[in-house]
Structure 1
């Protein structure tokens, strides 16, 4: 069975939540949050994560509008994700991420790990939710 090495991204204006998965591609886990600075610094931060995880694919969430349309924020996310993919020389796939940040916040509240001052926790949990969606879709398509 081929090893799965994917990085999930929840891209925001200030931070990017980052998640990884087990080698079987079953379970997504939170990794870290990258505070966005210059694009060059962002690329270096992601390059370190990718080398450490030996990742071969990026999965980014697209924040579609509730009507399923690509709005301003989604366009910004797509542009950034494509630039990152090109700079890191990794293929990129997208997942619908509507409501993942809200879901992440609810999960953290129910596990008593939530603080409104720790936005990075929400970002990396949202990245894990995004990646888990991708893994689940991938698994259902291979069956």
Structure 2
């Protein structure tokens, strides 16, 4: 089983995939579209990647506001999640992504990457952070359920 993580933006979607043990997230690609509302090719590419990597679940970044309210971007993510469910038939989990893009930018700055180069990969890095956060949560709860002591 593998899980796909997505950072859904207005013109890009960062994509990450878990390893087979569901321990780590690796960035795969950034899907770019020319127009914000043209999602057919984006959905087709995500479906293709899901089949290629034998994905059983999708974790989609959910950009809540800092005060925990739902804004326009989060509503668009909810709509995109429903499109993904219909297109792929997979479970789609909305995962709080507050500050993941900020963290991704910071990691790339610390890695001394040039601004132009950061723009090309920041969404993929954000997808890694989204998926890794979910995997850590998933594995922590799995350990608790198995009675492996305090976590």
Same-fold call, TM cutoff 0.5: yes
Q: Residue 19 of structure 2 is aligned with which of 18, 22, 37?
A: 22
Gaps of 5+ in 1: none
Question: 1:10 and 2:4 equivalent?
Answer: no
Residues 67 and 34 of structure 1: CA distance in aligned 2, closer, same or farther (over 3 Å): same
The Cα shift of 1:117 comes to 5.6
Aligned length: 140
Contact 2:108 2:118 in 1 (8 A): no
Tell me the TM-score normalized by structure 2.
0.87
Provide the rounded CA distance (Å) in 2 between the counterparts of 1:116 and 1:110.
15
For residues 115-138 of structure 1, give each alpha carbon's deviation from its aligned partner in whole angstroms, at most 9, with x where no partner exists: 246423110000000000000000
Q: 2:114 & 2:65 partners in 1: Cα distance?
A: 26
Match of residue 138 from structure 1: 138
Q: How many angstroms does 1:114 deviate by?
A: 4.2
CA gap of 1:114–1:103, structure 2 versus 1, over 3 A, is farther
Q: Which has the larger radius of gyration?
A: 2
Mapped partners of 1:121, 1:81: distance in 2: 22
How far, CA to CA, are the matches of 1:85 and 1:113 in structure 2?
A: 36
- The residue number in structure 1 matching 2:60 is 60
For 1:27-46, list aligned pairs within 5 A.
Answer: 27-36=24-33, 38-46=38-46
- Deviating more after overlay: 101-110 vs 31-40: 31-40
Distance in structure 2 (CA, Å) of the matches to 1:122 and 1:111 = 12
CA RMSD of aligned residues (A): 1.3
CA shift, 1:77, in A, is 1.1
Q: Distance in 2 between matches of 1:142 and 1:117?
A: 38
Contact map agreement 2:84 2:92 (CA 8 A) in 1? no
